[in-house]
Amino acid sequence: MHTQPFGHTGHDSSALIFGAFAVGFCDQAEADFLLSQLLDHGVNHIDTARSYGESELRIGPWMPAHRNDFFLATKTGERTYEGARREIHESLQRLHVDHVDLVQLHNLVDPTEWQTAMDAGGALQAALEAKEEGKVRFIGVTGHGLTVARMHLRSLQAFPFDAVLLPWNYVLAQEAQYSREFRQLCTECEKRGVAMQTIKGLVRRPWGGRTRNRTTWYQPLERQADIDMAVSWILGQPPLFLNSAGDPELLPAILNAASRFTAKPDDAIMESLVRDSEMATLFPA
């Protein structure tokens, strides 16, 4: 699997990042199998969060032997200094490590929460303190929804974050305002050397009234050929990274697709995927 610079961090990360929500609700044996698949396919970057069920607890037993094999990222959803400080320390304990490479302020899009996290006494202060103590190397910000790109731009104006994470897929790219703001964010990140991670790359449509048979909060693409196209569409836009979907049963197909990636599909191919799979936006205006 090809690698590329993860922003200005000095680390060459696999273009496919392991979205570790996938092991948040697994037993250790299943998690061990999935993590071994990462090594087999050359994935060298794990993205987890304190709020991802037991994800950190499942990754932790791997770290004593494999810490040097992975760029390790986690997240805190707390907005205050005390809350974020507590979660960062808990994450280190759960992951069996003395530091993580990246801690991210999780889903920071609500303006009121943003102000709390960014002000003195907020979560950013806790992340900076952890960095000064050598417990964190880099600091990032993540988010969901249609306002996330513009909020990430606001975050970058307020603080030199090292990485951002937000949704991106072909259907979202057809929404004019979101696409425009996403590309503005791309320009700013490229100028600053900020790593850009994308999520929701395998969205087929919202669940609606359908029976949920996956751990993802959207109905994902499931056929290998469809996953191939969706994965290749993202990976064909360097320096973007794709975080794998949060369902453990989909990971082999995603790894397969990323390992065989050659080129970005053209719009005609992607339009046929949208029609044939009846794809729809996850974030209706």
The amino acid that residue 74 corresponds to is T
pLDDT classification of 70: cutoffs 50, 70, 90: very high
For residue 174, give both structure tokens: 């057809």
State pLDDT tens for residues 13-46: 999 999 999 999 999 999 999 999 999 999 999 9
Q: How many CB atoms lie within 10 A of CB 7?
A: 25
Does the pLDDT at position 54 exceed 90? yes
**CA dist list (Å): 191 to 8, 108, 160, 266:** 11, 22, 12, 27
CB 47 within 8 A of CB 19: yes
Mean local confidence (pLDDT), 248-273: 97
Q: What is the pLDDT of residue 116?
A: 98
Tell me the pLDDT tens digit for each residue of 117-173: 999 999 999 999 999 999 999 999 999 999 999 999 999 999 999 999 999 999 999
Spatial distance between the Cα atoms of 200 and 65, rounded to a whole number of angstroms: 31
The pLDDT of residue 128 is 98
**Please, how many CA atoms are within 13 Å of residue 10, restricted to the half-sphere of its CB?**
3
Structure token digits, residue 8: 């200005």
The mean pLDDT of 278-284, rounded to a whole number, is 92
Residue 62 pLDDT > 90: yes
pLDDT above 90 as % of the chain: 98
Angle at 71 between CA 50 and CA 68, to 5 degrees: 115
Quote the percentage of the chain above a pLDDT of 70.
100
Mean pLDDT of the chain: 97
- What's the confidence (pLDDT) of residue 177? 96
Rg of the Cα trace of the chain?
18
* Separation CA 252–CA 86 (nearest Å): 34
State the average pLDDT over residues 238-255: 97
Rounded-to-integer distance, Cα 87 and Cα 236, Å: 35
Kindly tell me the sign of the dihedral angle through the C-alpha atoms of 255, 257, 263, 265: negative
Interval 206-216 mean pLDDT: 94
Question: Which pair of tokens denotes residue 94?
Answer: 């759960």
Q: Which residues pair with 136 in a beta bridge?
A: 100
d(CA 148, CA 182): 9
CB 45 within 8 A of CB 71: yes
The model's confidence at residue 51, banded by pLDDT at 50, 70 and 90, is: very high
pLDDT given for residue 129 in this prediction: 98
pLDDT at 284: 80
Q: Is residue 207 scored above 90 in pLDDT?
A: yes
